[in-house]
Each structure stands twice: as structure tokens, then as C-alpha cells.
Amino acid sequence: MAVAEARAAPAAPSLPVAPRRGAWSAFARHLLRDPYALAGISIYVVFLVVGLTAEWLAPYDPMEILFTPEGGLAASLPPGSDHWLGTTNLGRDIFSQLVMGTRPSLIVGLSAAVAVASIGTVVGLLAGYFGGWADQLLMRLTDIVLGLPFLPFVIVVTALLGPDLHNIVLAVAIMLWPNAARVIRSQVLTLSQRQFVEAARVTGAGEWRILFVHVAPSVLPFSALYGAFAVGWAILTQASIAFLGFGDSSAISWGTMLQDAYASQALDRGQFFWFMPAGLCIVLVVLAGFLVSRGYEDLLFPKLRDDK
């Protein structure tokens, strides 16, 4: 302790700001330099724009049953100028469903990211900084979550609490926050040994002030990384739940579209235009998250970096 204080004293004037700026500007530089990350960001932006403007982009109401000019049901039409991706067996416009289906995916993905990042950060900060029983509790909770099967748990939670999107987000957050918390905890452990924290302590800052003003900003890039991981998991999970029929069947999403196609024998009839686009959209959005977080992970954990 004495050694640490002695070392900290000269550092006191140039206090705590340095680490946080470093991490964030490194993040920005990484995004601009890494072509994969840039591709990921571009995909996000496209889907965000589509999600926000879905009402204007969709030519029809996605649930509306359409009729041909001759008065017959516009069922199972192949792609054409009136229906870019054709229609379902009940005469609904597939392109409109695809556009409107962007929303639930984005909502689930982004809210899960925020939930995982904030729970993981707060718990990781407390456990890492105060140690003791808070630390023990975090470790045991993590062990328990590792013993819960991911998808079956989400299925049971949505079945018991109801099929709303926020229950899916809740279940995903319960399953994913411990990873984030564990990593942030270990970051806090190393950070609290660092000079700027000692310096803050010497200048009389309280424990909470040190934790949230001096330590927390430095771990936020890690929170962002685990948030980015959660986006993909949450979107895949929501789609799986919808496909299994435990989602909100009245709301159009890519998962319900695929479930509809599966249940209506679109596979049997070879209607690829019905079930390919929604699947590809899920792949793109989830892949975008991987591309952004992958290079970013290398940046935050230099040990994992494998260049020579």
C-alpha cells in the first residue's frame, strides 16, 4: 500500500481522464480501419433505416389478404412487379412482411444489448471493486447461469410470462449478463491497482466517486463489446422462439414469417422466395454484429491477437 501511494503521489496532477479517451478513440480508429467492421456498421445502418421507415417502404399492410384484379385470392404468386417477393399462400405480400419484420429484430437486439451491458457493468463494477461477498455472489450466479440451458430457458420463460418481446429480452439478459460481469470484474481488479485510482483516493475522493467517475469510464468499451455480442444472440433467439410458435403470433417478424412458410408447406412447394429472404436478413444482421465485435475484441484483449 505504501509503495502504491508513493508511486501515486507524483501522478496526482495529471489525474484520471487518460484511460477513457484512449479506449474510445482506439475503438473509433479500429472501426474506420477494419474493412470487416466497416461492413458490419454499414449493414446495421441499412437495417436501421429500413426499420425506421418501414411504414413508407412497405407497399402493403403485411397482414392484409390481397386479391387479384380479377377478384381471386392473390395466393402464392411468384415474385413480380406488383409483389417483389411474391405472396404467401393466404395472399399476403412477402416483401411488406420482410420490411416490417425488421422492427422486432432491431428492438430485441438493441434492448438486449442495453440490458446485458448495463447489468453486466454495474454488477462487474461492484464485484470487482468491493470484492468479498459481492464477488462471491457474482461467481456463484455465473455458475448457476452456466447450468441453465439457453434456449429451453427462454422458451419456458416466454411460455410462463407471455410471448411479448420484453420477456424474450428479459430471458436473454438473464442468460448473458454474467459473461459481461465477469470480464468487467477482472478489468476492475487490474484498474483499481492503477495509479490514477490511487491518485484519486489520495486526493480524497470517496469510494463511490472513484468507482463511477474514475473506474467505470475505462470499462465501458468492454460493456459495449458484450452489448454487441448480445445483439446477435437476442435476434437469433427471438427468431427461434417465433419459429417454435412461442412468440407473439400477431406481430410480424422474420421468425414468424419463417414459421408461417414452414407450416404452410412452402418447402414442399419449393417457394424459395418465401423463406430465403427472411433467413438471409437474420444472417446479415447477426453477422454484422460479429464483424463489428470481432476486430474490436482483438483490440480490447491484445493477448488474443494473433498477428506476429
Partner 1 sequence: MPYLIRRLLHMAFVLWAVATIVFLMFRLMPGDPSAAFIDPTFTVEQQQEIRAQFGLDRPLPEQYLIYLGNLARGEFGLSFRQRQPVIGMVLDVLPNTLLLTLTALLIAYAFGTLLGALMAWNRGGRFEAVSVPLVLTTRAAPEFWVGMVMLAIFAFGLGWLPSGGANTAGAQYTSEWDRILSLDYLRHLALPALTLAIYLQGLPALLMRSSMLEVMQEEFVTMARMKGLSERAIMLRHAARNALLPLVTAFALGFGQSVGGNVVVENVFSWPGLGRLLADAIANSDYPLAQCAFLLIAFVLVLMNFLADLLYGLLDPRVAHGRG
Q: Identify which range of 76-84, 86-94, 220-228, 265-273 contacts partner 1 by CB under 8 A.
A: 265-273
8 neighbors 202 (Cβ within 8 angstroms):
yes
CB of 173 to partner 1, least distance (A): 15
Nearest alpha-carbon partner for 100 in 74, 63, 155: 63
- Identify the three-state secondary structure at position 87: strand
- Among 72, 204, 250, 268, which residue interacts with partner 1 (rule: CB under 8 A)? 268
Q: What is the 3-state secondary structure (H, E, C) of 215-263?
A: HHHHHHHHHHHHHHHHHHHHHHHHHHHHHHCCCCCCCCCHHHHHHHHHH
Smallest gap from residue 103 Cβ to partner 1 (A):
18
Spatial distance between the Cα atoms of 76 and 30, rounded to a whole number of angstroms: 46
CA distance 198 to 214: 10
**Of 187 and 238, which has the nearer Cβ to partner 1?**
238
Binding of residue 144 to partner 1 (CB under 8 A): yes
Grid cell in block for residue 241: 422462439
The site map against partner 1 for 214-243 (x = CB under 8 A) is ------------------x---x--xx--x
Q: Out of 8, 157, 188, 292, point to the residue binding partner 1 (CB under 8 A).
A: 157
Query: Is 182 within 8 Å of 124 (Cβ atoms)?
Result: yes
Q: Assess 304 for contact with partner 1 (CB under 8 A).
A: yes
Nearest approach in angstroms of CB 236 to partner 1 is: 6
Give contact residues for partner 1 (rule: CB under 8 A).
36, 140, 143-144, 146-153, 155-157, 159-161, 232, 236, 239-240, 243-246, 258, 261-262, 267-268, 270, 272, 275-276, 278-279, 282-284, 286-287, 289-291, 294, 304, 306, 308
